[in-house]
Chain A
Amino acid sequence: MSMVTEIFSTVERVRLGLKDVGYIATTQIAHTVYLAYHLGKPVLVEGPAGVGKTELSKATASFMGVPLIRLQCYEGLDESKALYEWKYGKQLLYTQLLKDKLNRIIEGETSLAESIDKLHQYDDIFFSPQFLEPRPLLKALQEKDGAVLLVDEVDKSDDEFEAFLLEILSDFQVSIPEIGTIEATSQPFVFLTSNSTRELGEALRRRCLHLYISFPDQGLEREIVRTRVPGISERLTSQLVSFIHQVRKLDIKKLPSVSETIDWAKTLVLLHAEKLDREMVRNTLNTFLKAQEDIRVAEEKLHALTEHALREAP
C-alpha cells in the first residue's frame, strides 16, 4: 500500500493528519476530504471570506506530501494564463541564433517549395515541449507524484473559463493542437473555492463534491487558536474567542476571519496579556477590523462586549 492510500485509509487518520499540519478540521471537512480522495472528485468549497477555504487545500497538500499548485482566478483569465503558452521570445531568439544552421540546411535547394519540404523533415522543432511554458493547470497534470491543485475564487473568472475548466475536471487531460493530448500521470487532488460573487454553473457544481464551511463554533475556534498560537493561556483564549464571536454578530461590513483571530491572539501574546481589558482591546481592534466604520461600531459597544467576554470566561 502506498503512502498516500495509507493516510487516506480511515476518516480519523485524515482528521489527525490535517491536525498534524496545523489545520483543525470539523468532522464534516474531514469526511468530505476523505470522500473526495476515494471518489477522485474535485471539491468545491464555499463559505464566507476568511473561514479557511484556501488554508484547507494548503493543509491537504502538506499532509499528502505533494506540491500545491495554485491558480488564482480573476476576470479576464484565459487559457494562455491558466493552461499553457508558447515561449514566443525563446522561439524568436532561436530562429535568429539558428539562422546559419537553417541556411545550411536549405542550401542547394533552388525553389521555395523544395526548401520548405526540406525543412519539414525536421518536424515542428519550434513547437515542441521545450518551447512550451506550462501554466498551473498543465503543471498540475504533469506532476509525477500527484499534486493538490487549488483553483482559487473560481467565481471571479468569466463564464467561458468556467466552461473550459469542466473539460479538465472531468477527464484530467488537455489537448494541445501542436503536440497532442496530455494526460495526467497521476490525478491531482482538486479544490475550487468560491465566495459566491456570482452563481456558479450547474454543470460545474455537478462535477464536484460540495463543502460549505461556515465560521467555526467557539470550541473549535479555541482549538484552532491553541494550535496556531502556542504559549497562549487558556483563559485568554476563551475570552478572545468569545469576544470575536460577539463581534461577528454586530452589523459590520467585514466580519473578522479566523486568520484574523489568530493574528489578534498573536498580538496579545506579544503584549504579554493575561486577560482581556478594555484599553488593550481598543488599541488592538485594528488587527481584526479593517474598516474605520467597523472600528467605530465596535468601539461604541466596547464596554458591553468586553464585559460579556470576561463573564463568559472568568
Chain B
Amino acid sequence: MDQILENFITTLRRSGVRVSVSEKMDALRAAELSGYADRQLLKDFLSASLAKSLPEKEMFEVCFSHFFSIDDVEGEDFPGEHDATPPAVQGAAFLTQAFLAGDGGGLTIAFNEAAGRADIGSIQSPVQKGLYTQRLFRELGMEALNRDIQRLTEEGGQEALSQAQFLESMRDNLIERVRSLIQRQLNLYARRRLDELSEGYTRNLHLSALDTRDLARIHAVVKKMVKQLKDRYSRRQKAARRGHMDFKKTLRQSISYGGLPFDIHWKSKKMDRQEIIAICDVSRSVSNIVRFFLLILYSLNEAVSRIQSFTFCSNLVEASHLFEKYPLQEALSRLKSGAGLPILMNRTDYGSSFCDFRDQYAECLTKRSTVIILGDARNNYWNPRTEVLRFISERCRRLIWLNPETPSLWGSGDSEMKAYLPYCTIARECSTLRHLEKVVEYLLRVN
C-alpha cells in the first residue's frame, strides 16, 4: 500500500478522525485516480472519502495542511558535501563521523529512525516538549557528540579546533531541527485535545458554576439543540400507530365495494400539544439553570401549546407576562434581576410558595397540564407542606421535579426532596445542558 497515504491515515486517526478499512480502500483508489500532482484535487478526493462529518472535515483540513507541509520540509536532506576531512578522531561517535564525512543521506536516515524510536508522534501537550526533545537527543547520541567536541577542544591544535568549531555549528543546527520537528508534531497531534472540548464539553458543563465567558458558547449550543429538537418533534402532531388496522372503519368502507375490503384504514391517534406550567426557584443556587431551562422551553413554543411560568423564592409570583411583553433574552434578564416582579428574595420557602400557587393559580391545573418544578428543595427547615404538593400533583397530568443536585444529596441537611418525591411522576437530576435536553425531549415525546 501507498506509504504516504498510510502515514496520512495514521495521522488522521491520531487526531480523532475515525477511518475504517473500507474507507482506507476508497482513499487508496481515490489517490490512484488523482495522483499526487494536483494538491487541491488530492485534498478534495481524500476529504470526500475519509472525513464524514463537519467536525471531521475541519480536522482533516488541519491534518492535511500540516502533513503535506511537513513532507516538504522533511524531504530536505542534511547538507552533504563539504570539504570532507577524513575522520581524524579515533573511536568517534556516529554523529561526529557522519558530520565530518559530510554523510547527509546517512544523517537523514539516522534522524528519522531516531524520531521513530523516540515515538514523538505520541506527544500530547506542550509541557511534554522537553521530555520528547531529551528523548530524541538520547536516541541520536548527542552525548557522544558532545564528548567528542570536548575532547577535540582540549586536544588543541589548528585542525582539531577547526573541527570542533565545525561540529559545534552542526550540533546547533541539529538541535534547531529537533526543536522544530517536535513543535510540528505537537501542532499536528495535540491540537484536537482543545477542539474536542468544545461542544461535548459544553453540554456536560455544570450550569450552576458558570463562567461568563462560557455564556456565548452555551447560547450557541442551546440554539443548535433547540433547532434539533424542533425539527424532530414539530412534524409529529399526529403519530400514526403503525400496524393497527381499524377494522370497523374498513368494513364500513367496504360496503361500497360490494363487501370487499378494498380500502384499508389504519388506526391513528392524535398527539396533543403540551400545556406546561413551570414553577421555578430563582434563589441564587439555581438561577442559572432556570435561565437555560426557560430559554429552551420558550424557544420551543411551536411544539408546546401554552407555557405558564411562575417564579418563587420566599413567595410565588407569575412571570408569564414578562415573556409575552419582552423578547426572550430581555425577559430572562428581567426575571433574573426581579425587575417589575413582586418577589421577595429572602430565604427560600417551598411550603408557602406552594400554598401561594394553590390559593391563586389552582385553576390553571387541568388534566392536560404538565407541572415542572425546578429547584433544589432546600427549604431552610421551614414546613415542607407536602400535602399542598399532593394537591397539585393530583390535579395535573404529571408532575416533574428537576433538581440541580445529584440524587445522593437529596434529603441531606435541609433538603426536603425525599419528602416531595412520592408526589412526583418523575424526578431527575438536572445540572447540565445534556440533562436539560433529555428532559425537554421527554416532554415532547410523551403524551
Contact = CB atoms under 8 A, between A and B. Distances in A.
Nearest to B30: A35
> Interface extent on A, as a size class?
35 or more
A28 interface: yes
Nearest to B227: A197
A92 interface: yes
Contacts of B262: 89, 92
A211 B44 CA distance: 9
B49 interface: yes
A41 B26 contact: yes
A76 interface: yes
A92 B52 contact: no
A92 B260 contact: yes
B26 A209 contact: yes
A206 B49 contact: no
B41 interface: yes
A31 interface: yes
A212 B57 contact: yes
A38 B29 CA distance: 9
Contacts of B20: 206
A205 interface: yes
Contacts of A212: 54, 57
A76 B40 contact: no
B228 A35 contact: no
Given A206-B22, A211-B48, 5 more contacts: A31-B40, A43-B48, A76-B240, A96-B260, A198-B232
B358 to A, nearest CB: 37
Nearest to A29: B44
B40 A27 contact: yes
Contacts, number: 74
A31 B41 contact: yes
Contacts of A78: 242
A259 interface: no
8 contacts: A32-B48, A38-B29, A46-B54, A76-B240, A156-B235, A198-B232, A205-B53, A206-B52
A77 B296 CA distance: 29
B94 interface: no
Contacts of B240: 76
A277 interface: no
A196 B40 CA distance: 27
Given A31-B41, A38-B33, A197 B52 contact: no
B437 interface: no
Given A38-B33, A74-B235, A206 B23 contact: yes
Interface string B245-267: 00000000000000011101000
A197 B232 contact: yes
A88 B257 CA distance: 14
A11 interface: yes
A195 interface: yes
Contacts of A75: 235-236
Main secondary structure, interface of B, reads helix
Contact of A39 (B30, B52, B228, B231): B30
B152 interface: no
A169 to B, nearest CB: 12
Interface string A71-112: 000111010000000001100100010000000000000000
A27 B228 CA distance: 30
A197 B228 CA distance: 5
A211 B232 CA distance: 23
A301 B437 CA distance: 34
A39 B26 contact: yes
B196 to A, nearest CB: 16
A44 interface: yes
B437 to A, nearest CB: 12
B138 interface: no
Contact of B44 (A31, A38, A196): A31
Interface in B27-59: 29-30, 33, 40-41, 44-45, 47-49, 51-54, 57
A210 interface: yes
A28 B54 contact: no
B270 interface: no
A185 B86 CA distance: 73
B12 to A, nearest CB: 14
B53 A32 contact: no
Nearest to B261: A92
B16 to A, nearest CB: 14
Interface in B98-119: none
